[in-house]
């Protein structure tokens, strides 16, 4: 188990997105036990940086993997690793661009700040009997790179220019995170949820009060099944089939009674 985790972390960092689905498929059954659930974690991220003049949210796609580790009864430890997670702010103002010492262009267009992080969430999760859950905890992030992006589209002629400004930012970020969601198929399918993050550390070294905040719309897809989960799904399918047959018999019986009454 420990060796599998080391392999996963190494491959995720080394090969990034291309390795994630392959790893999940190869090791899903091995990593899923009666007390641990492993799978892919992905969705859309709407982010902003407080303390800037612009208040426009940027949106991006995020992807990684997750672990749900059962602690006791309905309590779980939720963690994982997001290898692709971009935060930022859209439509920077002139004051923002001046603060960031960004290169500006005579062509009409929009500027945005992009921050690419590796993210490690650590949350306590409580699963309710109705398949809803609530979670809260901390999130830690390491900045990979950051850039100011200029986008222009005039009369069908588009342009995109990126200017790196990683040296202006603090490399580490941490903050509080809370969320909720629902497990589909009576607790045995995919999970959909929402998670909100607010950072404690200034994004910019010289920008007091500049904090990351982000709304994650997420989906968890379990990869592989433990023996207990396989048995549970088998039982669920059997009960569903039985219920279907029972409804069919009841419908047939009702139709026969109606035919007898009409005679």
**What pLDDT digit, counting tens, does each position of 63-87 carry?**
998 999 999 889 999 999 998 899 9
The pLDDT of residue 257: 72
Residue 8 has pLDDT above 50, yes or no: no
Angle, helices 2-15/17-31, rounded to nearest 10 degrees: 170
pLDDT higher at 225 or 239: 239
The pLDDT of residue 113: 97
* Phi–psi pair at 52, nearest 5 degrees: -95, 160
Q: Please, what sign has the CA dihedral across residues 88, 90, 96, 101?
A: positive
The pLDDT of residue 226: 56
The pLDDT of residue 224: 67
Residues 128 and 136: their CA atoms lie apart, in Å, by: 15
Residues 182 and 191: their CA atoms lie apart, in Å, by: 6
For the stretch 229-251, pLDDT in tens is: 666 666 766 777 777 788 888 78
Mean pLDDT for 16-36 is: 58
Residue 5 has pLDDT above 70, yes or no: no
Residue 7 has pLDDT above 50, yes or no: no
Among the ranges given (44-53, 109-118, 167-176, 232-241), the one the predictor scored with the smallest mean pLDDT: 232-241
The pLDDT of residue 235: 72
Residues 72 and 35: their CA atoms lie apart, in Å, by: 10
Residue 124 has pLDDT above 80, yes or no: yes
Residues 178 and 213: their CA atoms lie apart, in Å, by: 12
227: Cα separation from own chain's centroid: 26
Residues 173 and 50: their CA atoms lie apart, in Å, by: 14
Domain boundaries, the chain: 2-225, 227-263
Mean of per-residue pLDDT scores for the chain: 85
Residues 133 and 75: their CA atoms lie apart, in Å, by: 10
For the stretch 128-173, pLDDT in tens is: 999 999 999 999 999 999 999 999 988 777 889 999 999 999 999 9
The pLDDT of residue 252: 75
The pLDDT of residue 200: 97
pTM: 0.77
Among the ranges given (94-108, 184-198, 238-252), the one the predictor scored with the smallest mean pLDDT: 238-252
Band of pLDDT at residue 22, cut at 50, 70 and 90: low
The pLDDT of residue 241: 75
Query: Are the C-beta atoms of residues 159 and 109 closer than 8 Å to each other?
Result: yes
Mean pLDDT for 213-240 is: 76
Paired residues of 162 in beta bridges: 149
* Phi–psi pair at 167, nearest 5 degrees: -65, -20
User: Which residues have a Cβ under 8 Å from the Cβ of 25 and sit 6 or more positions away?
Assistant: 223
Query: What's domain 2-225's architecture?
Result: Beta Barrel (2.40)
User: Which residues have a Cβ under 8 Å from the Cβ of 127 and sit 6 or more positions away?
Assistant: 74, 76, 133, 183
The pLDDT of residue 12: 47
DSSP string, 79-146: EEEEEEEEEEEBS--HHHHHHTT----SS--EEEEEEEEEEEEEEEEEE-TTSEEEEEEEEEEEEEEE
């Amino acid at each position: 188990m420990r060796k599998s985790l080391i392999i996963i972390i190494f491959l995720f960092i080394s090969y990034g997105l291309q390795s994630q689905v392959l790893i999940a498929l190869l090791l899903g059954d091995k990593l899923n036990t009666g007390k641990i659930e492993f799978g892919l974690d992905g969705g859309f991220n709407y982010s902003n940086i407080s303390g800037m003049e612009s208040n426009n949210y940027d949106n991006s796609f995020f992807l990684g993997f997750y672990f749900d580790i059962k602690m006791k009864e309905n309590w779980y430890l939720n963690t994982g690793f997001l290898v692709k997670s971009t935060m930022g702010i859209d439509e920077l103002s002139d004051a923002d661009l001046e603060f960031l010492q960004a290169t500006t262009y005579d062509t009409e267009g929009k500027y945005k700040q992009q921050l690419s992080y590796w993210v490690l969430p650590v949350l306590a999760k409580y699963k309710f009997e109705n398949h809803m859950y609530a979670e809260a905890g901390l999130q830690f992030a390491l900045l990979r790179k950051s850039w100011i992006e200029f986008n222009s589209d005039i009369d069908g002629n588009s342009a995109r220019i990126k200017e790196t400004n990683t040296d202006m930012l603090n490399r580490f970020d941490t903050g509080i995170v809370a969320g909720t969601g629902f497990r589909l198929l009576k607790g045995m399918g995919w999970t959909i949820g929402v998670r909100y993050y607010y950072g404690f550390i200034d994004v910019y070294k010289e920008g007091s009060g500049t904090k990351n905040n982000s709304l994650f719309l997420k989906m968890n897809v379990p990869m592989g099944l433990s023996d207990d989960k396989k048995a549970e799904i088998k039982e669920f399918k059997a009960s569903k089939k039985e219920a279907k047959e029972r409804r069919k018999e009841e419908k047939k019986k009702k139709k026969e009674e109606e035919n007898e009454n009409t005679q």
